[in-house]
Structure 1
Amino acid sequence: MTPRIPRLWTVTAAAILAASFLVSGCGREGASSGNSGGASPSPSGASADQSMPAPAADQAEADPSPAAGSGLAPGSSGTQTVPVEPDVGASGADAQREPAAGPPEADRIAYLTFDDGPSGNTESILRILRESGIKATFFVTGKESETDKELYRRIAAEGHKLGNHTYTHDYTKLYKEPGAFMEDVRRLDRFLQETVGQGSDILRFPGGSNTRLGRRKGEPWIMPQLVKRVRAEGYQYFDWNVTSTDAAQAVQPKADIISSVMALARGKERIIVLMHDVTVKKTTVEALPEVIRGLKDMGFRFAALDKQSFTTQFLKSD
């Protein structure tokens, strides 16, 4: 006969089994949610861990533009310390181009000019120019000794320009009336043609185009007529925008000559430098090498004048 299990035991055993099952299920749910009370779903339906903030690496990938000044390349994780090279592509080559520091040196031109020669200094001036590898312009007057004739020829043969500074350089005759001036100019041209084989189409007025020297009291000022006349007869005339001051006195100190040229050349792209080729002016010759070096250091190249060159004119012809 099978023994009868009391009803109370049966109910108790069933209750124990049910309790064991419930405890096991709550452990798994707690582990997955990290919250014993569970997590509410996000509005988009994402799970609780999907709604958490992204790690730093993911944020960097999501925002390819790093903060200004961060030094980080686009897409970096925020932990790189390797310097990033500029992104220079077919259309980005300018990113590494240096800004222009100023006009190219070749754009600065110095025209050295020597008035009143030839003289006892001409040979020394030519030597310095030759050693420096530069060309200049000599506004000469008429001197008929064989020594002077040879100097005219040397000036031309060494690649310098002969300019017309009138034959006599006599203010009282030159500036009496336009016809007298032009006859003196043509006389020098004829002389140069006979001596060197070429005349000149450039000219410098003794005293400059605005000179009042040689004008007698009460006489009309003829310079406005003269500047038009020389242009009409095919000449270009040149004054200067840098003076060496070597005409300020018979012998100007060498240091004054150098400092004047350097100071007046600053800020200019084209300069016409006034100097004199006169035997007594030894300091002009002494200063010349330093003047040339100083102008080279300032970025100037050197050239001789011609009819199409830059010009400075104190008194305009029009």
Structure 2
Amino acid sequence: MFGVVRFRSARFWPLPVFLVCLSLLLPWKAQPFSGVVPTLAEGESDRIIYLTFDDGPSTNTIPLLEVLEEYGIRATFFVTGQYEGDTAALLQAIAERGHTIGLHTYAHMYDEIYSYSEAFFADLQKVDELVQQATGQQAVLYRFPGGSLNSHCPKWLRQQLRQQLAERGYIYHDWNVESGDQGSRVLSAEELFENVVKGAQQAGEGPLVILFHDTNHCATTPQAVNLLIEHFLEEGYTFLPITEKTPPIRF
């Protein structure tokens, strides 16, 4: 179905009213969450990297999966409903290869989802149902579009959303290293690699949560991931997927 790709070193009312009403009338939530955020056990290694990919799936998802599979590494994909192709097949491919699927947003339209809480959760419910229908999995991880501290979401709403996410059983995660692969200019794999290495140095001690994207725009991301995996494995790092037991990195 998909080709194998391997790399080697080298407005307040834009949402339909019925969606908002549906989110109010039909209660829905993820699996119960205790509200206790886990922490690293004493003596546990902090030389850990969590590779995360936002805004997919897309045509670049399969090349990414092939790179990760080559090294036996599992990652975390915070997915959307934006792809115009066979989203369900790509979500299935992510799940079948043992990666974690988290929720990001369905439409990724800041003005809509950050207008009021009902609009936010109507959008979230759509991507939640998309993942469940495609994979049979109930996602409990979430990443805010733009991160949990962004200029699009007013402070009063931000506080509401964080509280309501926890009440519904979701755990949100940010990041502490950016690759820069979603800028207006497509960076080379080497440039992305250098961004990550520099960001890792600035992050200091502790686990690294690296932000990548797997949109159609990010054609060089798979090769950059290949480069950084080899580099950080040599540095003694372990690559892990985020799970509901992973201590969140938050802004």
Could you say which TM-score interval applies, normalised by the shorter chain? 0.7 to 0.9
Q: Does 2:224 match 1:273?
A: no
Q: Which residue of 2 aligns with 1:150?
A: 89
What's the CA shift string for 1:97-139, capped at 9, x where partnerless?
xxxxxxx995411000000001010010000000011000000
What's the CA shift string for 1:10-41, capped at 9, x where partnerless?
xxxxxxxxxxxxxxxxxxxxxxxxxxxxxxxx
1:219-258 to 2 correspondences below 5 Å:
221-258=156-193
TM-score, with length taken from structure 2: 0.77
Q: Which residue of 2 aligns with 1:209?
A: 148
1: CA distance, partners of 2:115 / 2:77: 25
2: CA distance, partners of 1:155 / 1:167: 17
**Higher alpha-carbon deviation: 262-271 or 189-198:** 262-271
Q: Does 2:54 match 1:128?
A: no
Secondary structure of the structure 2 residue equivalent to 1:273: strand
Q: How far is the alpha carbon of 1:141 from its aligned partner? A: 0.5
Q: How far is the alpha carbon of 1:144 from its aligned partner? A: 7.1
Q: How far is the alpha carbon of 1:300 from its aligned partner? A: 0.9
Q: How far is the alpha carbon of 1:255 from its aligned partner? A: 2.4
1:1-318 to 2 correspondences below 5 Å:
107-143=46-82, 147-213=86-152, 221-266=156-201, 267-314=204-251
What's the CA shift string for 1:265-305, capped at 9, x where partnerless?
23433011000001121121221110111111221111111
TM-score, with length taken from structure 1: 0.61
Q: How far is the alpha carbon of 1:193 from its aligned partner? A: 1.1
- Please say if residues 240 and 273 of structure 1, whose CA atoms lie closer than 8 Å, have aligned partners that are also in contact: yes
Residues 282, 230 of structure 1: alpha-carbon distance in 2 compared, 3 angstrom cutoff: same
Q: How far is the alpha carbon of 1:221 from its aligned partner? A: 4.7
- Unaligned regions of 5+ residues in structure 1, if any? 1-103
**Higher alpha-carbon deviation: 117-126 or 140-149:** 140-149
Amino acid corresponding to residue 96 of structure 2 in structure 1 = A
Q: How far is the alpha carbon of 1:247 from its aligned partner? A: 2.2
What's the CA shift string for 1:212-264, capped at 9, x where partnerless?
12x5xxx7652122112211211000000011111233412322211121122
1: CA distance, partners of 2:161 / 2:245: 20
Q: Which has the larger radius of gyration?
A: 1
1: CA distance, partners of 2:200 / 2:219: 22
RMSD: 2.1
Q: Which residue of 1 aligns with 2:18?
A: none
Amino acid corresponding to residue 136 of structure 1 in structure 2 = A
Residues 207, 153 of structure 1: alpha-carbon distance in 2 compared, 3 angstrom cutoff: same
Secondary structure of the structure 2 residue equivalent to 1:293: helix
Q: How far is the alpha carbon of 1:143 from its aligned partner? A: 4.7
- Please say if residues 112 and 274 of structure 1, whose CA atoms lie closer than 8 Å, have aligned partners that are also in contact: yes
1: CA distance, partners of 2:65 / 2:170: 25
